[in-house]
Amino acid sequence: KNEVEQSPQNLTAQEGEFITINCSYSVGISALHWLQQHPGGGIVSLFMLSSGKKKHGRLIATINIQEKHSSLHITASHPRDSAVYICAVGGIESNFGNEKLTFGTGTRLTIIP
């Protein structure tokens, strides 16, 4: 069973700050997803990573497969970035091709104007 840990659990920052959210997992995977959950509860997929780095606008996600670790960065943070950010992993090493996701507990981000 894959354990997915995120840190920090809560993060409050001033508008414009550079944000880093971390995710570690215990078992080798095929892919890692970063998701965003807004206060209403809806979940939006931000990134899917299997190696290296991806960038969408002000969001950057990196993954180190050997260290079983990923980070999500937000540059020039804005109050509209306030949400819960969730790391989810799939394709556990012992059963590659397994399509279900195992979720972390989420990081609640609050950006103050």
Residue whose CB is less far from another protein, 44 or 76: 44
Nearest alpha carbon to residue 7 among 25, 23, 31, 28: 23
* Residue numbers at the binding site for another protein (CB under 8 A): 29-31, 33, 35, 40-45, 48, 50, 86, 88, 90-91, 97-106
Dihedral, 51, 88, 107, 6 alpha carbons, nearest 10: -70
The residue count for the chain: 113
Residue whose CB is less far from another protein, 38 or 78: 38
Least distance in angstroms from the C-beta of 82 to another protein: 18
